[in-house]
Copies of this chain bind each other. A is one copy, B any other.
Amino acid sequence: MRCTSLIAALCVSLIPVAMTDARAQIGVVPMPSIVQPGTGSLVVDQTFTVGIENYKDARLNRALLRFLGNLSRQAGMPLSTKLVDPAKATLVVRADHAARPVQELDEDESYTLEVTGSGARLSAPNPLGILHGLETFLQLVETTPDGFKVSAIRIQDSPRFPWRGLLIDVSRHFIPLDVLRRNLDAMTAVKLNVLHVHLSDNQGFRLESKLFPKLQEMGSDGSFYTQAQIRSLIEYARDRGIRVVPEFDMPGHSTSWLVGYPEIASAPGPYTLDRTWGVFDPTMDPTRELTYRFLDEFIGEMAGLFPDQYFHIGGDEVNGRQWDANPKIQEFKQVHHLNDNHGLQQYFNERVQKIVAKHERIMIGWDEILDPNLPKGIVIQSWRGQDSLAQVAKLGYTGILSAGYYLDMMAHASDHYQVDPLTGAAAALTPAETARILGGEACMWSEYVTPDNIDSHIWPRTAAIAERLWSPQAVQDVGSMYRRIRAASWRLEWLGLTHRSNYLAMLGRLAGTDDVAALRILADVVEPDSGYNRSTLASSMGIVLTSATPLNHLTDTAAPESEVARDFATAVNALVSSRFTDHASEAQVRTQLASWRDSPARLEPLLRGSFLLKEVTPLSQDLASLGAAGLQALDYIRRGERAPDAWKAEQLAMIDRAKKPSANLLLAPASAVQVLIEASTANGQKVP
């Protein structure tokens, strides 16, 4: 699902609801539903053991061993990996009964975790809740002056939505299996439960078909998963309480199929893989029986591979050009009284839905597939927004939200956090309609990510989306969210995620040296502009971005959200709202501004030495200007002088320039510096 006007969805605003004190104290993400603090705390030391009561199975066993391994790694402390008699265990785990053999949407994921000074007890109807409760426990372990501890607490927790997903597009850039695996580890840490793999698109067909081997042989440049690999991935995901939903986009976004099988296309071909981004003409021929026979066999094969109940057919962005140009297709439309291409696609969807249903799967597709002739069971994934989703629910269909959760838009976690599936028109739904809104999915489209930077584009921002989909709607405190996802982000490193470590390695690559301290001052405060703007910019310069374009620039390296800029803005706000009496914040702000002002001298040799860094010279100069302007503003304020209007005008012009993207990067601290400049000319800004 690629579109260009999603940003509107990010502007939904909700009234922040203060969190209860109990919730505010804990570092857990997503925030649990009910948190009751107790007294005392449980020491977590090398005597820590786990025992299982009641229901037992191999998955639960593996989960507990993994939990012990993670706790051991997080604490740097060897722990016994033997499960013990529950009467003697520090943590007792109790599931009432088994989970279903194939994870289903309506399974109970709730759990209760009770920690006292003498032990902990985690109970749940089935192992899914146990999996979630174990992750909560890991996040509760604190480093204290007297050892690792968990404060006494009682948590009752269950998800707000049953469908909490992450889409990873493995077509535009192939994403190897180990990268998917580490992202599954991260997903389970924040209680996401669906990995949606976008397996085919114009740029690549990424899964082995044994019935139609030319799909991967001719449609993947050799980069695809074998069936054995995908089976192991599904097993890995199931162990972590995560469903794997496959998407094979049709009838559009399908060039990669048509390279090997032009006979199902709407124009004769031959076809070659697309190397650029966008919506292209190649489309399956919805008028030929051959197409449906092909899809029947293919979907049957895939249903044998993917046990999940849902099968995603994409269904988005058909431009209709091949259909318009093909007289036989035109004739077919007339014969079948299909008024337009939309009607023709509806016809296709209805045929495909019957095939999907025949193979005992429920069809899911993007907004475009919505069609009153389709049975009510299908699921609509909405890239259009809450109003579209509300419409889906009103018509009796089920839906999930992805508008507002597109990670490639480079929005901040706080923007995603404010997007709620049940706002806008969806807020006015009846309870029955509301129940049809199943949840949402963060989407990691892969035009501009590779294994090097995909983790930093997904994490930690996706933790904020995970909280929106799991926690009660009233959980809205942005400051608390940032504090908690920052802690979660750090823990993800122990699971092998590379969102932090690869950043430093990529800076070294940019500079051609490991001495990147000077570069980091700049890199820490720039944020990549949206991928959409990137391609627009490139087009305007006559540059064609392709799947072979090196992603080794600063815009590929910088994190989508600058922590340094956020901390700086927080300090500026504290300073201003204290009417400049908060000296600690002022010192912090000044140190930061000075480091920016002085950065070009240190950075300049690196910029001169590397062809990859030349383009950031203007950014480096603008950052220095921001630093100098902020310090001057503070000096005016400190002297109790009103800054001259001419000076202010000059600085604001500079700020305007600094706010414009350069090298597809934005200088994140520009607005906070502007606040200082405005403050320096405010009336009555007299300072003690």
- Whether A489 contacts B514 by the Cβ 8 Å rule is yes
Q: Indicate if A486 sits at the interface (CB-CB under 8 A).
A: yes
CA distance A89 to B251 in the complex (A): 40
Closest Cβ of chain B: how far from A490's Cβ, in Å?
4
Q: Choose the segment among A188-196, A544-552, A663-671 that binds chain B (4+ C-beta atoms closer than 8 Å).
A: A544-552
Q: How far is the CA of A283 from the CA of B146 in the complex (A)?
A: 42
Contacts of A508 in B (CB 8 A): 490, 493
Residues of B within 8 A of A151 (CB): none
User: Does B78 lie within 8 Å of A548, measured CB to CB?
Assistant: yes
Chain A contacts with B in 598-654, Cβ cutoff 8 A: 608-612, 614
Q: Does A512 make an interface contact (CB < 8 A)?
A: yes
Surface stretch bound by B, among A52-60, A253-261, A499-507? A499-507
A385 to chain B minimum Cβ distance, whole angstroms, is 34
| A69-77, A306-314, A358-366, A678-686: which lies at the interface | A69-77
* Residue in chain B with minimal CB distance to A550: B77
- For residue A304, CB closer than 8 A to chain B, the reply is no
A 459-487 to B, binary, CB cutoff 8 A, 1 in contact else 0: 00000000000000000000000000011
CB-CB contacts below 8 Å: A504-553 with B: 504-506, 508-514, 547-552
Bound state CA distance, A46 and B550, in angstroms? 9
**Chain B residues closer than 8 Å to A494, beta-carbon distance:** 505
Contacting residue for A509 out of B75, B487, B498, B500, CB 8 A: B75
| Alpha-carbon distance between A501 and B513 when the two chains are bound, in angstroms | 16
A73: B residues at CB distance < 8 A: 452
Q: Which of B75, B144, B504, B612 contacts A552 (CB 8 A)?
A: B75
| Given known A-B contacts A514-B489, A609-B144, A509 and B74 have beta carbons under 8 A apart | yes
Is there contact, CB below 8 Å, between B145 and A609?
yes
- Is A611 within 8 A of B145, CB to CB? yes
Task: Determine whether A222 belongs to the interface, using a CB cutoff of 8 Å to chain B.
Answer: yes
- Report A45 CB to chain B, min CB distance, Å: 9
Give the docked Cα–Cα distance between A462 and B512 (Å).
Answer: 22
How far, in whole Å, are A309 and B589 apart by their CA atoms in the complex?
65
On whether the beta carbons of B514 and A143 are closer than 8 Å, the reply is no
| 18 additional A-B residue pairs with CB within 8 Å, beyond A46-B548, A75-B509, A76-B452 | A74-B509, A78-B547, A78-B549, A142-B512, A143-B511, A143-B609, A144-B512, A145-B608, A145-B609, A145-B610, A147-B611, A486-B514, A490-B505, A493-B501, A493-B504, A494-B505, A498-B501, A500-B504
Some 5 contacts from A to B, beta carbons below 8 A apart, are A143-B609, A143-B610, A144-B610, A144-B611, A493-B505
